[in-house]
Amino acid sequence: MSESFSPAELLDAEWPSHLLGEILDNLLEGDLTAKEEALAQRRLAKGAREDEDGENARTVLSACLRFAGKKLHGGDGGPAHHHKTASAQASNWCACALAVTRDAPPTASISSAAYDTFRGAFMRHENLGDVMLATTTRAAEKDGGSRRVSAFVALAAASSRTVRDAVDALAGCVSAMPIDDVDAFVDGLDERAAIDLLECAIAREDQTLATKTLPCLFRSKRECAAAAMRLASRGLTHDDGASFTRWSETLAIISESCAGWSLGEDDEAAVLDLVRKLPSLAKGKPPRATSRVVRALTRVVHVSSSSSCREALNATARACLDESGTTAACGLSIASELLRMEKDVSVAVGAFDSGFEHGDEFVTCVAHDLASEVVANATKKTEITRWKRGVLSRAASIANEAVEKLANAEDGDASAFAKRLPAVARLHLAETRTTADAAVAFTRDVLQLIDGLVKGTRDGLKQNRTCCSALRSVVEIMLDESVRFPSSAEKCLETVSKSNEEKTTPSDLKSYRAFLLDAHRAMQSVASASADFKLNDASTATACRVTLSGAAKLLDLKAEELASEHRAHVFETAASCVRESTSPSNFHAEEDNASENVVTCATHAMTAWRDWRSSRVASAQTPTALQLLSACVSIATAAGDVNSAHSLASRVTNEQERVAAAQAVAKRAQPAMASNSFTAAGRAGRHFPACGVAAMFSLALHDLVSTSGLGGVNVDIARGMLRVTRTLMRASGSEHSRDAAFVVDSSMSLLRDAMFYDHVMKAPSLATDATEIIVDHYQRVDTASDRVSSLADILFDASPHLGKGKLLDACTVLVSTIERDLIALAKTYSLASHLDVISDASVALQKTLDAALKFTKAKSDAADAKKGMPGFLVLAVKTARLCLDAVYAQPQDSDELAEVISAGARLQKSIELLMRHSVLPSHVMEILRPWRAELFFESARMTERLSLDKHGRPTESVKGLDSFVDKGKGGAYLEEVMHTRDELAARMSWADEWVVGGGAAVEQGGVKSATAHADGAVNGTKNAKKRRRRKRDRNPYVEALKEAEGKRGGTSREYDDLEDFIVCKPGKNYRRLLGL
């Protein structure tokens, strides 16, 4: 293209493919108007859609990104024009680049060429990556189908190392994508991009990214599996303990995706190093994480067919069993996995035999527990079958002997046998699955022991904590077996009933389960009554013996099979079981169909809650059902996968109730909202099920506290709903969707409103829980500065209740969070630059300190608040100090200096009153002495700077002060500030308390003369004009309303009524709010 054309001519002409690059270069060199840019963007987006083979995709994409970079930094490389305009224009070009990438053919959209183009542009143009990520986030909110491209762009930004939050954005996109989209996204990556994704997934602290991307990577990119194995090996062997669990999860994912994988030389060396270090790694690490590492490593070794690794693994198993505790349990986990895979059977059998005879009681219990897992697996190997028979025979002998010893617990030698009883009982009862009469004597004797314990005829057994704990675990095992294998249990019961001539044992399954549940509940009551009683000794190795499948089947029992009085206890037991399945101390392998069993439990819990919601008849099973639901949601959100939580929520609720709840919450929080906001709330409930369910519980809680009160079991119900809401909020999707964020914010408004109901404040833990949920939400979605303002607003509302001795714990949570955020802002930025934050925090803290002082001076029966108030005051003063230091650090020419003087003056006066009444601990008062003196002098200096002359004008030229007075923000308000500072400065007798150096005496003299001048100026103004001071408590909103309405306003009496009714936030500009 030798001839030059104007941009308008180029935009009107046809663009041949072979000249496209030159045409776009000419457009880049020209100066396009806004209309011409929009036309160019439309033509490029349309061309990308019509480009079937994608041959021009890279050229078009590169041009869009170059246009965006040019708009950000100016065409000639100089400084950019106005920042907001530049960002908006760059964002338009980024949106065009996104459209080009999304609409290009699959081979060109997520490709190595596109990846290099994005990555190179981000490295060449500063801040382009941030603008591009913001654009893709907005597009993903409107169109979920854009998330694959959004993830691709975020990965390119992360690999360019130019965008700070790129990995977080990548994790957010991936967590919201269905697994099929993740597969498609990973399949389109080239080797370099795949390795970048692997590094991002493994380097991230939580498992949000790794859980969904690593299995896809390892299936399609073998080189990534090898690289991940090396990284995991180094991470586990050099880890200091903080991220051991994360590396164990990574290794587990590798082992599940390594079928047909052969180790390279470097990979084999890494695996060998990890295998040999297992005994030392196991020490001091969580048993569950250690067990996952051991089992995953065993699978990797045997799938890879490396003989040297196999030999090293077998040697490690034997070496571990020479140790004790979790190290020995490591060797048993290797043996368990070997028997499950039917590999190296002789080595595994030898390891188990060593475990059975081990001198450590804990190791012996673990050996029997893991043996019960192996026995449950079917096998055709003669060697394993013969070993199983021997294990079952051994377990029967130990179990019967232990029960006999427990029957004579008064002899004092039953404890040693009781510790082994739960583990061998599972093995012994497992034999009844094939031989009905195998455990008849054991079952009969245990039932008689339990009967005596419950009826109080076995006091010696009841006093023995170890024996009682062991029997409780046996009851859980028998209950589990009765629902998982009902036919075997029924046959065993029939035989027991025939052999029991006195007929004291239950003869059918329904009465048998009822008997066991009554006994289990009674044992829990015994444990609750004794402060030092532990339900399970450490040697029993696990907290709850009911399996997930057993808990699900218990809940599946119909009303005729399970009495209503037992269902509440079943919910409680199922909740313990679900929590135990992911407990760090649980060394068992994950159960088959665990996720389906969790869904079954959650469904039953949700049904019980719905029954209460519809009938409003409180029952004992509702709180325990909510405990179970919270545990199920916690499992779904544990890995950070948003889709898991949404999947669970969608399966236990229906779309209609989620949409209705989301819209009701939004309507209640914002009654005057527009119709499009109402529609957006419905979209959030539909597309983000966890958000909809959170809205359901927030709405139900608000209804409960506003209508029914919190008498009786309702307190536990409210606490349970708060617990479920907190768990759901973490997976609500508010970080990925504006619609979801709108509904979650509305839910937070309802929780905030619920905090201030009298019956909630009478149960302080509820208000504290609600506060922690709100704080947790703001910590996820807000910046530190926005969070301080939001929490300060809540603290301001809570301060009147604090003056009555209520909400102390909730206020402590708020103030401690504000303090942390102010410290973080001071470290990252200059805190003095956040004037709105300082003002909001100062006003809230001033009201809080005044309320706390009022409470300490008043007579009150709130003993807990009296006891905790001094500690709270220390925290509040520390936080107030951060605010005041920032106020006095304002530069002389600050435009908004006058905006914060009011809040700072009031806060300083509150602190001085607090210290004058000596309500702080004496040692704290002594520490604060120097700061109190410094504060005094700073106050006097500012009084001099802000003093007024006889005409009511500032005596010094302080930037911003003239407009502050002219716009009506001054007047009586500024006069009040002046009097506050003047009053503090005039009390020179206080200075005698401080130890001041030689130079300070001169400073004091200067301060005194300055304050005298200020005092004369203010008093002179007042006396000269002979005017009456305005009442200090005039309502600023009503004053602004009078000005806005003018002569059309109401009468003086009507305005006085409004002043009594409306509560205003000090320092807030209501004139600006009303458009004045």
pLDDT-derived band at 1016 (thresholds 50, 70, 90) equals: very low
Between CA 308 and CA 326 the distance in angstroms is: 25
User: Who's near 855: CB < 8 A, 6+ residues apart?
Assistant: 802, 803, 804, 805, 862, 865, 869
Q: What percent of the chain has pLDDT over 90?
A: 9
Could you tell me where the DSSP H helices lie in 413-464? Answer: 415-430, 440-455, 459-463
pLDDT in tens, 707-748: 766 777 888 888 899 999 988 887 776 666 778 888 988 999
Give every CB contact of residue 463 below 8 A, 6+ residues apart in sequence: none
Q: Binning pLDDT at 50, 70 and 90, where does residue 601 land?
A: very high
Neighbours of 668 (CB within 10 A): 18
- Helix, strand or coil, per DSSP, at residue 262: coil
pLDDT tens digits for 877-923?
889 888 888 777 765 545 555 556 667 777 878 887 887 777 778 88
- pLDDT above 70 covers a percentage of the chain that reads 74
Q: In this predicted model, what pLDDT tens digit does every residue of 330-342 receive, in sequence order?
A: 999 999 999 988 8
Query: How many helices (H) and strands (E) would you count in the chain?
Result: 53, 0
Q: What sign does the dihedral 357-363-367-369 (CA atoms) show?
A: positive
Residue 765: the pLDDT is 86
How do residues 699-714 score in pLDDT, each as one tens digit? 999 888 887 667 778 8
Output the DSSP codes for 871-886.
Answer: HHHHHHHHHHHHHHHH
CB atoms within 10 A of CB 1053: 8
Residue with the bigger pLDDT between 843 and 985: it is: 843
pLDDT of the residue at 1053: 58
Task: Retrieve residue 171's tokens.
Answer: 């994790």
Helix (H) or strand (E) holding 720: helix 714-729
3-state helix, strand, coil in the chain (%, to 5): 75, 0, 25
pLDDT digits (tens, 9 = 90+) for 139-168: 776 665 567 888 888 898 888 888 877 887
- Cα–Cα distance for residue pair 861/685, rounded to 1 Å: 45
653 φ/ψ sector (left φ>0, alpha ψ -120 to 50, else beta): beta
Q: What is the Cα 580 distance to its own chain's centre?
A: 20
pLDDT for the residue numbered 207: 63
- Report how far residue 856's alpha carbon sits from residue 853's, in angstroms, rounded to the nearest whole number: 5
Q: What residues form DSSP beta bridges with 948? A: 954
pLDDT of residue 72: 79
| Domain boundary assignment for the chain | 1-220, 237-359, 395-588, 783-920, 932-1032, 1036-1073
| In the predicted structure, residue 696 carries a pLDDT above the cut 90 | yes
**pLDDT at 87 (0 to 100):** 73
Confidence of residue 981 (pLDDT cuts 50, 70, 90): low
pLDDT at 10 over 60: yes
pLDDT band at 656; cut points 50, 70, 90: very high
Of the candidate ranges 149-153, 167-171, 806-810, the one whose mean pLDDT is the lowest = 167-171
- N residues, the chain: 1076
Q: Can you give the pLDDT at residue 98? A: 84
CA–CA separation, 414 and 426 (whole Å): 19
The answer to whether the Cα torsion of 1066, 1068, 1069, 1074 is positive or negative is: negative
Work out the average pLDDT over 515-520.
Answer: 89
Q: Which of 128-132, 156-160, 520-524, 733-737 has the lowest mean pLDDT?
A: 733-737
User: Range with the lowest mean pLDDT among 135-139, 154-158, 495-499, 1053-1057?
Assistant: 1053-1057
Contacts of residue 8, defined as CB under 8 A and 6 or more positions apart, other chains included, come to 36
CB atoms within 10 A of CB 49: 13
What are the beta bridge partners of residue 954?
948
Region of poorest pLDDT, from 31-45, 108-122, 620-634: 31-45
pLDDT digits over 378-403, tens only? Answer: 777 888 888 888 988 888 888 888 88
Q: Is residue 702 a contact partner of residue 668, using CB atoms and an 8 Å limit? A: yes
- Is residue 805 left, alpha or beta, with left meaning phi > 0 and alpha meaning psi from -120 to 50? left
Quick one: which of 805, 932, 799, 929 has its CA closest to 876? 799
Average pLDDT on 539-566 reads 80
Whether pLDDT at 1003 is above 70: no
What single-letter DSSP state applies at residue 1026? T
Has residue 816 got a pLDDT over 90? yes
> What is the rounded average pLDDT of the residues 119-143?
81
